Amino acid sequence: MAAERVKLEVRERSERGSAEGRRLRHAGLVPGVLYGRGTEARAIVVSEGELKRALSGEHGSHAILDVVIDGDKKGHSSILKDYVRHPVRGDLLHFDLQIVRLDEVIQTPVAIALIGEAVGAKAGGVVTSGARELRVEALPTQVPDQIEVDISALEIGDSLHLSDVAALENVTFLDEPELLLVSVTPPMRQIEEEVAEEGEEGEEGVEGAEGEAGGEEAGESEASSE
């Protein structure tokens, strides 16, 4: 859990707009916004390397950031609320930081980590992920870095929902209990064989019905000739 605070020094910026954003990114800087707790949103900028350093520690994107603007003595306890990456290169294009109180709960998404190898997968089944993250409510310092879900006992045909996940201390799940997290389905070849068998059975039934109908018509024809 993100108990450790990471210092992040940023600069305030006065100019905004897409052209200014491109100029900053070309210079290796990432524009962002700092807001929250009744304060006016402030446009900020930081080097991409410094931002990556702050978010690549033990707690990743859930780190508590001690944001210092232009060398101010007092920092702002903040969390990464949102960010935008380039769809191809993966570069950080923009980020939002939210000022928080460490003694007040926040709501945030947390990634799901599937742990273990499902029994069904060893038998040829296919493990399919459902939801990839969960919405939780907790104090900023108690937000888990990830939520581990053990799938080792799942057999072919089994599935896990949020209701199957053990409760975490001081953390509240906000999604519906029925939310599907992971399932183990039969291998594609088995599904195709079952579909083919069902099709053959259906065809036999149709042929039998046609044969019976043909017999009845023949009987009626013979009766008429008599």
CA distance 49 to 215: 84
CA distances from 202 to 58, 189, 205 (A): 58, 20, 5
Backbone angles phi, psi at 75, to 5 degrees: -95, 175
Q: Which CATH number fits domain 107-185: 3.40.1350.10, 2.170.120.20, 2.20.25.90, 1.10.1200.10?
A: 2.170.120.20
The answer to whether the CB of 77 falls within 8 A of the CB of 64 is: yes
Model-level pTM?
0.74
Strand 126-129 to strand 159-161: parallel, antiparallel, or no bridges (unpaired)? unpaired
Domain with CATH 2.170.120.20 in the chain: 107-185
Q: What is the pLDDT along the chain (226 residues), one digit of tens a residue?
A: 656 689 999 999 987 778 888 888 889 999 999 999 888 899 999 999 999 999 888 888 889 999 999 878 888 999 999 999 888 888 889 999 999 999 999 999 999 999 999 999 999 999 999 999 999 999 999 999 999 999 999 999 999 999 999 999 999 999 999 999 999 999 876 555 556 666 656 565 555 555 555 555 545 544 444 4
The answer to whether the CB of 182 falls within 8 A of the CB of 149 is: yes
Domain with CATH 2.40.240.10 in the chain: 5-100
The dotted CATH code for 5-100 is: 2.40.240.10
Residues across the chain: 226
Beta-carbon neighbour count of residue 33 at 10 Å?
A: 16
